[in-house]
Structure formats: structure tokens, C-alpha cells
Amino acid sequence: MNYEFFLAKRIIGSKAYKSSVSAPIIKIGIAAIAIGIVVMMVAIATGIGLQQKIRDKVVAFNGHITITNYDSNNSQESLFPVSKKQDFYPEFKSVEGVKHVQAVASRFGVIRTETDFEGAYLKGVGSDYDWTYFKEFLIEGNLPDYTQDRNENVLISQYLANRLGFKISDTFQMVFPKDDAEKLPNIITYKIVGIYNSGFQDLDAQYLVGDIRHMQRINKWSADQIGNFEVFINDYSKLDQKGIEIHKNLASLLDSQTITNKYASVFEWISIFDKNIYGIIGIMILVAGINMITALLVLILERTQMIGVLKALGSNNWSIRKLFLYNASYLIILGLFWGNLIGLGLLFAQKYLKLFPLDPSVYYVTEAPVYISFTYIIVLNIGTLLLCLLMLLVPSYIITKISPVKAIRFE
């Protein structure tokens, strides 16, 4: 029988243990573990959730990788056409892990009303466009259908609709200036069939989604000419690798750019969340460990006579240290239990009830997103337990310095 574990259970189950002098300190230690695990879970869930949400919003407007002509054009506008007759279109078979390739074209225009005007990009899309992301963003109306004849239906952002006073079924004129200022601009009357809100205000303020055939007609392109290709991959963690592979499989006159390079400032900002998460985890484990060290020292002080008796009966120092480590493990597990219960409750409440809103102009999302995965929860709990126990090995060493004779006489 593991007598250390047996004694630890007897101590934990005794009434004297629960009403002893050390009881308040033990409760503080348990509370520190619980609060620490709650803070760490919230930090990880919201940090990763925010990263994923922002990343998905940027990807929705650009794809993971964009393929364009090899030129110095840094604007969002498609100036030089690319032929759709490419080996990688409509399926990028030469690179594994590519989910979808779609052809798009963008052109800057001015939305004109009787009382106001607003500049924006009309993003032209066709029958190959993947509406998966915009289905999630859609808040009113329907997604436009460009699989049949050319039409004037558009999807507009809630941001632009509010600024211009638009609603579903309204029509408006959009003016597309020509390169030659002396020539009359192209004017198209569009009809709003859907309103979306991605929560990424910088992008919502820029884009409407319309029929690519209008862009081809305005630019005097053929049906096989488009502005650029958007490539979607299956695994975002392999973005850099797939970006290199795709670039190697392009014609010499084509260039590719990953979304992290195109929006470097945004992705550098969200990468800072990782450092914040690691910092919070380190601080919380340190605080919890210090509280448990205090609790363990009080337990040792309170059981000094028992330590003396056990040594007198022949127990070695490591056996007695194991007894107190078992005791401390129980306190840590108890703190982890309550911490997980409270932490998961808060995370699920936020996920389904959306209790904590955020300013989209600052955070690019309307509420704090949460990412819940039992993998990181299990790793976090096991890591916290092990690190706290490792920290307790040092203070438990004090048991080796206790003399049996003095301990038995200790009052």
C-alpha cells in the first residue's frame, strides 16, 4: 500500500483539517489556482478567437493568396488584365492543399445619390465565386446570383448603407471614371439585394460586390480577362509554404502574394496577442505557485509534530515530502476544478449570449470572439498542475531539516 497517499487522504478527510488554522490560507491557495486558470482560459480563448476572426475577415475579401500580373500596382484596382486560360484555373492541381481558385476584378467608383456621394471599390465576381464567408456576414436580404445573365444586383456593406441611407431594393448610380479625363465616365445603376456586415470596418467601407461582367465591359476586356485570382487553401498554418509552392508554379509574367504580406500591419498586430497570452499564463502560474508554496509551508508548520513522529517511526524525508505533495496536489486539482467550471461557463456564455461587445473600429469585431478547444484546456490544466508541483518541490525540502526530537516537542 502507498502509505503516503493513505495518510494524505486521511488528513484531507479529517474535520480538524477543514477547521484548522491553515484553512483560510488553503482556501486562498485554491482560489488563486481557480482565478489563475479562469484568467488563462479566457486569455487563450479570446486571443486565439480574435486572431481567427480577424484573419477570416481579411481572407473573405482577398483569399489566402492573390495572383496578379507582375507589375508595380499597389492599389486595390485591377488595372491590367490577366487571362483566365491558366493551368491552375479552375483547379490548382499542381499544388496540394489548394481548396478553391476564383477570378475577380475590382474598380474604383463613386456612389452618387441626390444628396450625397461616397467612393468605394466595386469588386466584380462571377459564377465561380465562393460565398461561404459572406453567408456568415449577411444580415439582410440575399446574396446576388451571377450564374445566369449579367445583372445589376449588388451586395453592399451595412457601413456604406447607413452612411448613404440605403435599404434593400434601393437603386443607386455608381460612376466609374475613365483614364482619359476628357472622356465621359461610365455610369451603372445598381440594385441592392443584400446587406452584409463583416465587422471589419476598414474593409466594409471599401467594398461592394457586383457582377464581374460589368468590370470587363467597362475595361473593354474579353470574357477571358479578369483582374486577379484569389486562392484559398485548406490549412492556414501552411500559408507560407503554399505561397512559395504556388509562386513556383506560376508563369513568369504572374506574381503571387500571401494575405500576411498584403496586410502586414494587421497580421503583425494580431501576432502580438501570442506574446500577451504567454505573458498572462506565466504571471498566473507564478502567482498560483507562490500561493500554493505559502499554503504548503503553513501545512508543514501545522503538522510539525506529525513529521517528527513519522521520522521517529522510520519514514524517510522523501516519503514525508510525498505525503505533503499529495496533499498539495489535491488542493491544486480542487482549484483547477472550480477554475474550469467558472472559466468554461464564462466562455460558453460569451460564445452563445455575446455578453461582451467590442468596438469594431478598434478590434475589427463587434463582440469578443472565443475559441474553445479541449486540447488547449487539457494541456493548460496538466501544465498548471505539473508546474505548481515542481515549484512545491523546493519548499518541501524544509522537511529534511526538521529534527524528530525537536518536532515532537514542537508547540
Task: Count CA within 13 A, CB hemisphere, residue 116.
Answer: 9
Q: Cβ(185)–Cβ(144) under 8 Å?
A: no
Cell of 117: 456621394
> What is the number of domains present in the chain?
2
Please check whether residues 225 and 81 belong to one and the same domain.
yes
What confidence category does residue 22 fall into, taking pLDDT thresholds of 50, 70 and 90? low
Cell of 62: 482577398
Whether 258 is covered by a domain: the verdict is no
What angle separates helix 374-396 from helix 23-62, to the nearest 10 degrees? 150
User: Looking at residue 289, what is its pLDDT?
Assistant: 86
Whether 257 is covered by a domain: the verdict is no
With a CB cutoff of 8 Å and minimum separation 6, the contacts of 179 are: none
Domain interval for residue 232: 71-251
Cα distances from 81 to residues 91, 102, 188, 231, 311, in angstroms, run 20, 15, 21, 17, 86
- How many CB atoms sit inside 10 A of residue 397's CB? 11
What confidence category does residue 327 fall into, taking pLDDT thresholds of 50, 70 and 90? confident
Q: Is the pLDDT of residue 84 over 60?
A: yes
Q: Is the pLDDT of residue 291 over 80?
A: yes
Beta strand segments in 72-152, E? 82-83, 98-112, 117-125, 138-141
Rounded mean pLDDT, 135-145: 92
Rounded mean pLDDT, 131-138: 91
Whether 113 is covered by a domain: the verdict is yes
- Which residues are paired to 104 by β-bridges? 125, 228
Please check whether residues 87 and 191 belong to one and the same domain.
yes
With a CB cutoff of 8 Å and minimum separation 6, the contacts of 258 are: 64, 65, 239, 240, 243
| CA atoms of 393 and 386, how far apart (whole Å) | 11
What confidence category does residue 301 fall into, taking pLDDT thresholds of 50, 70 and 90? confident
- How many CB atoms sit inside 10 A of residue 147's CB? 9
- Beta strands 254-258 and 65-69 are antiparallel
Q: Is the pLDDT of residue 72 over 70?
A: no
Q: Which carries the bigger pLDDT value, residue 324 or residue 92?
A: 92
Please check whether residues 131 and 247 belong to one and the same domain.
yes
Please check whether residues 245 and 284 belong to one and the same domain.
no
What confidence category does residue 25 fall into, taking pLDDT thresholds of 50, 70 and 90? confident
Please check whether residues 328 and 292 belong to one and the same domain.
yes
- How many CB atoms sit inside 10 A of residue 234's CB? 12
Share of the chain above pLDDT 90, in %: 36
Please check whether residues 230 and 199 belong to one and the same domain.
yes
What confidence category does residue 345 fall into, taking pLDDT thresholds of 50, 70 and 90? very high
Whether 218 is covered by a domain: the verdict is yes
| CA atoms of 124 and 209, how far apart (whole Å) | 6
* Structural domain ending residue among the three candidates 225, 251, 277: 251
Whether 209 is covered by a domain: the verdict is yes
| CA atoms of 244 and 253, how far apart (whole Å) | 16
Please check whether residues 348 and 295 belong to one and the same domain.
yes
Share of the chain above pLDDT 70, in %: 93
Rounded mean pLDDT, 212-233: 91
Q: The cell 467550471 sits on which residue? A: 341
Q: Give the residue ranges of DSSP H helices in 80-150.
A: 132-137
Whether 292 is covered by a domain: the verdict is yes
Query: How deeply is 138 buried, as exposed, middle or buried, from its count of CB atoms within 10 A (0-12, 13-18, 19+)?
Result: middle
Please check whether residues 51 and 82 belong to one and the same domain.
no
Nearest to 109 by CA among 210, 2, 8: 210
Please check whether residues 27 and 89 belong to one and the same domain.
no
Q: Cβ(228)–Cβ(105) under 8 Å?
A: yes
395 preceded by cis ω (within 30°)? no
Please check whether residues 22 and 107 belong to one and the same domain.
no
User: Looking at residue 400, what is its pLDDT?
Assistant: 73
Q: Which of 71-75, 144-148, 375-379 has the lowest mean pLDDT?
A: 71-75
Please check whether residues 219 and 315 belong to one and the same domain.
no
Q: Is the pLDDT of residue 311 over 80?
A: no
- How many CB atoms sit inside 10 A of residue 259's CB? 23
**Dihedral sign of CA atoms 312, 316, 319, 324 in order:** positive
Q: The cell 461610365 sits on which residue? A: 186
User: Looking at residue 337, what is its pLDDT?
Assistant: 94
Whether 283 is covered by a domain: the verdict is yes
